[in-house]
Amino acid sequence: MAAPPASDPHRFGRVDPDGTVWLITGSGERVIGSWQAGDPEAAYAHFGRRFDDMATEVALMESRLESGTGDARKIRAAAQALAETLPTAHVLGDVDAIAGRLTAIITQADEAAHADKAKREEFRAAQTARKEALAAEAEDLAANSTQWKSAGDRLRDILEEWRTITGLDRKTDDALWKRYSAAREQFNRRRGSHFAELDRDRAGARQAKEALCERAEALSDSTDWGPTGAAFRDLLSEWKAAGRAAKDIDDALWQRFKAAQDKFFGARNAANAERDAEFRANAEAKEALLAEAEKIDTSDLDAARASLRVIGDKWDAIGKVPRERAADLERRLRAIEKKVREAPTRGVDPEAQARADQFRARAEQYERQAEKAAAAGRDKDAADARANAEQWRQWADAAAEALGKGR
């Protein structure tokens, strides 16, 4: 605590009979005034109170400096100014003690001012570093980010945080603000350019997909199942490559495209189901013919061949069977034909028999080609091969009939 004001002015001064008032200090005496208003005690009281006021002011400086509630630089300036008045101060009291206390205040205030300055500089450096980091982050977002929403939100957050950072010198603060502001403008330009390009792309995607919808709708009633199915697959590939329109428009266009696609494939599936049922019935009919053919008696070769020709005609008239069963059914029929063909005969010309067998072998060769072509979906090739097989079979039958007449 500061020392209380001096209460005994008699120790530090005197009043002459003529009213002259003297202050006694360690360096000597000096006149501080002339008292004509009453007895000497009144002079002591008057100049003592003025000293008490000075001492109170000094005590207040000490208190504020000690508690840290005052500005050290201002306290020092006040102490310095008060110290400069001491040589001419009109007071009675321990001026030397006051001078010492003021010197101590000035020294302590200098130290506190240096500490405050260091703290301010440290604070300013920390605040500057915060804004530099924010400016650098904003510049990175502006130059590199394509996460437009999150980056835009972050730039707004940076601005809010920026406004809470104070204590920088004006020049540095202005320079950092220009960096942040330029970064924000760069980001806004890039984002605007991106969305403008996106709008153009979406408009182009919309036009392309509308055209694809029209093409799909034009194909939806087709019954040319194979080529149209391939065309729909090509349309879907084009759709995926067309890009995206605005979400609501893109969704509506997709529903339109899909409706046309579903209409075609639904009709094709129904037709395939009907065809498959027909093919299964055909397979059952051929199974019945095979059962009949397997009972042919080869002891009467002419009758056996005649029966087999009738079965062959019925077989051809039945038509197609499921692809996975065609080869097995044809193999079983060929085995029966071979059995009849190779049945022992009497009095037959070997060369004529070989020729008939050769014709039948060629017919079987073409029939196998027809089976392979049909399995691969090459209907025209299959039809040509069947026509050739039929021609060779007719020649084989004719040769076999000639053999029968020659016995």
Least confident stretch, 2-6, 14-18, 248-252, 289-293: 2-6
Specify if 281 maps to a domain: no
Cβ-based neighbours of 170, under 8 Å, separated by 6 or more: none
Give the Cα separation of 93 and 381 in Å (integer).
135
Give the Cα separation of 187 and 264 in Å (integer).
49
Residues 73 and 92 in one domain: yes
Please give the average per-residue pLDDT across 314-318, as a whole number: 88
Residues 66 and 115 in one domain: yes
Residues 392 and 315 in one domain: yes
Q: What is the pTM of this model?
A: 0.46
- Domain count for the chain: 4
* The pLDDT value given to residue 100: 95
**Above 70 in pLDDT, residue 405?**
no
CA distances from 118 to 111, 164, 219, 264 (A): 11, 22, 83, 83
- Residue 151 tokens, joined: 């980056």
Please give the average per-residue pLDDT across 154-158, as a whole number: 96
| Sign of the CA dihedral with 162 first, then 163, 165, and 170 last | positive
Higher pLDDT, 356 or 64: 64
* The pLDDT value given to residue 115: 87
* The pLDDT value given to residue 264: 85
**Above 70 in pLDDT, residue 212?**
yes
Residues 184 and 209 in one domain: no
Confidence band, pLDDT 50/70/90 cuts, at residue 117: confident
* The pLDDT value given to residue 181: 95
Residues 94 and 132 in one domain: no
Q: Which helix (H) or strand (E) holds 211?
A: helix 170-219
Higher pLDDT, 356 or 365: 365
Domain residues for the domain of 310 are: 294-405
* The pLDDT value given to residue 7: 53
Residues 31 and 115 in one domain: yes
Confidence band, pLDDT 50/70/90 cuts, at residue 141: very high
Specify if 161 maps to a domain: yes
42 in Cβ contact with 23 (< 8 Å): no
Confidence band, pLDDT 50/70/90 cuts, at residue 345: low
Residues 98 and 130 in one domain: no
Q: What are the pLDDT digits (tens) for 177-202? A: 999 999 999 999 999 999 898 888 88
**Above 70 in pLDDT, residue 138?**
yes
Confidence band, pLDDT 50/70/90 cuts, at residue 350: low
* The pLDDT value given to residue 5: 47
Residues 209 and 165 in one domain: no
Q: What are the pLDDT digits (tens) for 55-107? A: 999 999 999 999 988 899 999 999 999 999 999 999 999 999 999 999 999 99
Average pLDDT over the chain reads 88
Confidence band, pLDDT 50/70/90 cuts, at residue 272: confident
* The pLDDT value given to residue 346: 53
Domain end position, chosen among 198, 225, 247: 198
Q: For the beta carbon of residue 202, count every other beta carbon within 10 angstroms.
A: 18
- Residue 53 tokens, joined: 């006021």
Place of tokens 């208190």: 63
Residues 39 and 137 in one domain: no
Cβ-based neighbours of 93, under 8 Å, separated by 6 or more: 5, 6, 9, 12, 48, 51, 52, 54, 55
Specify if 96 maps to a domain: yes
Confidence band, pLDDT 50/70/90 cuts, at residue 401: confident
Specify if 286 maps to a domain: no
CA distances from 153 to 88, 118, 133, 161, 184 (A): 67, 36, 17, 12, 11
Please give the average per-residue pLDDT across 20-28, as a whole number: 94
Q: Which residue(s) pair with 24 in the sheet?
A: 29
Cβ-based neighbours of 231, under 8 Å, separated by 6 or more: 219
